A and B are shown apart, each in its own frame.
Chain A
Amino acid sequence: MAKIKKFFRYENVGMLFVLPAFLYMLAFVGYPIIHNIILSFQDVSAGNLVKGTRNFVLFDNYLELFGDSVFTTSLWNTLRFTVSCLVFQFIVGFALALFFSKRFSFAKPVRGILLVPWMIPITVTALMFKLLFATDIGIINFLLRSLHLIDKNIEWLTTPGTAMFALICANVWIGIPFNMILISTGLTTIPKELYESASIDGAGKVQTFWRITLPLLKPTIESVLILGFIYTFKVYDLVYVMTSGGPVNATHMLSTYSYKLSFEMFKYSKGSAVANVLLVILLFVGVFYIRATTEGEKE
């Protein structure tokens, strides 16, 4: 009894708050994750999905991947896509958050409306950008032609390099409001008195930004970037609708390739292995995040 009391008196009470959510996630995602890890060490294809024996093949699926050029392309694509998107959407989102934190007449309504790109189902966004980047009827080609930057239409979605660019544009468009709203909310947690005393001390705007805004926003920025990384890294719908990984696999991501292997080519185990590579990479990012956010805390 005393032991139980002791347990509840101290920090362990916090566990009780976390437990329901944890159990929920364990139930619905924990099992799939384990299922997927096991599958990736087996040799499951159409022939033994339902009947027949599944053999454990250790790391064969993983080894096979590194000789697979589509896999290495997908890996590289996923990385450059994620990094490019994060950089652009973070910078623009941050700038917009700072801009709209000023108290001018239109600040609140316009900021509210700018969230709209984020609420559109990604399938629809992909569709709209496919239209914008269309070769013959695309408005982007028209604008470039009007400005005499090009004289022949660019075949955005049917040329490897430009297709990736179009995907990044679409994803940044979705990501800007996400960054803006989270940073905006983060800005509100900074006590105004700090800015007041800084301005009394004669600190300039730039100095205030580097000395007060950025350090105090650190937890928000970390969340935004890490979450942004995780959600961008497993991008699926956008690529599937806009390019389906083409042309010639130039925009395949780990997620789309995993899907293709599993559900179009019936190579379930290999598809799982690709997904697990994605998981391992994100796991590193996640560990880094946990270390960064909990550093200096007293246990």
Chain B
Amino acid sequence: MKKRKLAALLTAVAMMTGILSGCGSKGAESAPAKDAPVADGAFAEQESAAGDAQLITIWYYWENEGHQATLDQLIQEYNGSQDQYAVTAKYVPFADFKKQLSIGASADELPDIAILDSPDHASYVDMGIFEDLTGKFNVDNYYEGTVNSCTVDGKLYGVPFGANCLALYYNEDMLTARGVNVPTTWAELKETAKALTTDSVSGLAFCSVQNEEGTFNFAPWLWSTGATSYDIDNENGVRALAFVQELINEGVMSKECINWTQGDVMNQFIAGNVAMMVNGPWQIPTMQSEAPGLNWKVTLIPKDTQYASVLGGENYAVVNGGNVDGALDFLTFATSEEKVKFMMNQFGYISADKTIAESQFAEDSPYYPFVEELNYAMPRGPLAEWPSVSDAISLAFNQVITGTATPEEAAAQAQATIDGIVN
């Protein structure tokens, strides 16, 4: 009896040693892969069987299945076109993307290419993990804002993947039923939204989450008054905040917007719970497939003193510790006119290349208003400390939406924070 119990314990200990030695042997296996001319040891572990091709890894954050499939198709085409490099893409959720890049930078465990949100680009350049691409890509024809987002001190640290901006979607049937016109100014917008609001329908919605996504959506209102991201505590900044507060207080926009992502806003719109929304062109493919019968149109975001929108989109960046040659080779392929056209159309994005963008859509295409809106779109930053500035701005509009501060107080508080960062 005694012996048997002891034997059981020993077996258990042996099993655990097995687990530990198991990882030891795994390490030994991966060692040769690490010495191979491959950028990324850990990934090489399982993929090196693919042949002699060097492995190029991409990180991206699109959760949209259509986007994922499109990127996959591009990669397949590239892998089929040559046999020196084998590209694979890893999905890292948006909420985790910054964390994974930060940790990866500390641990020297990064992909070869990152496709990242443009306002974060400057921070990573500051981190020193991106390769200087000046002179390697011709970006002369690109929209200035998109190029600026990946330029630091006159050097180019990335290539714009594609551009998007925000515009106003409206449910045409609802507008017709109420006999109201498409708004072009803030005053008209408020009146129209009021007319469209019922017990079950909100006149207007835009994502107001307290993070970068919310800041992205608030920026057009802020900038339309003439205020800038760094100069809020003035008549203009207060007017923008006050306008958002009025929308909430008069019941034409739901307070729930502070919990709604842009995807949620789109879902509310196609469910008929929202009559007008501010959103981006990437929602169009989903809207067309999920609500084919819905009669909607897109127009410029109504203005206060000037039309304004915000530039969004991703940039490609090449990580400087990785396989730079391979990454450049893939990017040269991916940024060719033909591939850009394919990607942009599938994504519902607008090409960052002006010449492509202008002929990308027909005038009756729902995308067309976005190309027009793009002329008024400005980028956020670029600034290494942009995340902190953005945080102050998103706090300000959340304060007025929840009624925890007046527009004046919120503007003053945001300004104090921003001054502490920028000066």
Q: How far is the CA of A268 from the CA of B401 in the complex (A)?
A: 30
Q: How far is the CA of A265 from the CA of B210 in the complex (A)?
A: 13
Q: Which of B126, B211, B405 contacts A46 (CB 8 A)?
A: B126
Q: Which of A231-269 contact B (CB under 8 A)?
A: 244-250, 259, 262-268
A155-B255, A157-B259 in contact; A47/B384 too (CB < 8 A)?
yes
CB of A160 closer than 8 Å to a CB of B: yes
Mind listing 6 A-B residue pairs with CB under 8 Å? A49-B105, A135-B255, A135-B256, A160-B402, A263-B99, A263-B102
CB of B128 closer than 8 Å to a CB of A: yes
**Residues of A within 8 A of B (CB-CB), count:** 28
Residues of A within 8 A of B401 (CB): 247
Q: How far is the CA of A159 from the CA of B401 in the complex (A)?
A: 10
CB of A51 closer than 8 Å to a CB of B: yes
CB of A223 closer than 8 Å to a CB of B: no
Interface centre among B127, B256, B391 (most CB of A within 10 A): B127
Closest A residue by C-beta to B125: A46
Residues of B within 8 A of A267 (CB): 388
Closest B residue by C-beta to A158: B255
**Shortest distance in angstroms between B96's beta carbon and chain A's nearest beta carbon?**
9
Q: How far is the CA of A268 from the CA of B103 in the complex (A)?
A: 11
CB of A116 closer than 8 Å to a CB of B: no
**Contact at B98–A263, with CB atoms within 8 Å?**
yes
Q: What 0/1 pattern do residues 82 to 107 of B give for CB contact below 8 A with A?
A: 00000000000000001100100110
**Residues of B within 8 A of A (CB-CB), count:** 29
Given contact pairs A49-B102, A50-B106, A259-B99, a sample of 15 additional A-B residue pairs in the complex whose CB atoms are under 8 Å apart:
A47-B127, A49-B127, A50-B105, A50-B128, A135-B255, A158-B256, A158-B258, A159-B402, A246-B210, A247-B258, A247-B402, A248-B404, A263-B99, A266-B387, A267-B388
CB of B315 closer than 8 Å to a CB of A: no
Residues of A within 8 A of B105 (CB): 49-50
Q: Which of B220-267 contact A (CB under 8 A)?
A: 255-256, 258-259
Total A-B pairs, Cβ < 8 A: 78
**Contact at B128–A52, with CB atoms within 8 Å?**
yes
CB of B56 closer than 8 Å to a CB of A: no
**Shortest distance in angstroms between B380's beta carbon and chain A's nearest beta carbon?**
15
Residues of B within 8 A of A247 (CB): 210, 258, 398, 401-402, 404
Q: Which of B129, B395, B402 contacts A50 (CB 8 A)?
A: B129
Q: Which residues of A contact B (CB under 8 A)?
A: 46-47, 49-52, 135-136, 155, 157-160, 244-250, 259, 262-268
Residues of B within 8 A of A160 (CB): 402, 404
Q: Which residues of B contact A (CB under 8 A)?
A: 98-99, 102, 105-106, 123-124, 126-129, 209-211, 255-256, 258-259, 384, 387-388, 391, 395, 398-399, 401-402, 404-405
**Contact at A46–B384, with CB atoms within 8 Å?**
yes
Q: How far is the CA of A264 from the CA of B395 in the complex (A)?
A: 14
**Contact at A266–B102, with CB atoms within 8 Å?**
yes
Q: How far is the CA of A265 from the CA of B387 in the complex (A)?
A: 5
Q: Which of A250, A263, A265 contacts B388 (CB 8 A)?
A: A265
**Shortest distance in angstroms between B201's beta carbon and chain A's nearest beta carbon?**
12
**Shortest distance in angstroms between B383's beta carbon and chain A's nearest beta carbon?**
11
**Shortest distance in angstroms between B331's beta carbon and chain A's nearest beta carbon?**
22
Closest B residue by C-beta to A246: B210
Residues of B within 8 A of A155 (CB): 255-256
**Shortest distance in angstroms between A262's beta carbon and chain B's nearest beta carbon?**
7
Q: How far is the CA of A248 from the CA of B255 in the complex (A)?
A: 13
Residues of A within 8 A of B129 (CB): 50
Q: Which of A136, A159, A264 contacts B98 (CB 8 A)?
A: A264
**Shortest distance in angstroms between B17's beta carbon and chain A's nearest beta carbon?**
11
Residues of B within 8 A of A46 (CB): 123-124, 126-127, 384
Residues of A within 8 A of B126 (CB): 46-47
Residues of B within 8 A of A136 (CB): 256
Q: How far is the CA of A250 from the CA of B384 in the complex (A)?
A: 27
Q: Which of B124, B127, B259, B405 contacts A158 (CB 8 A)?
A: B259
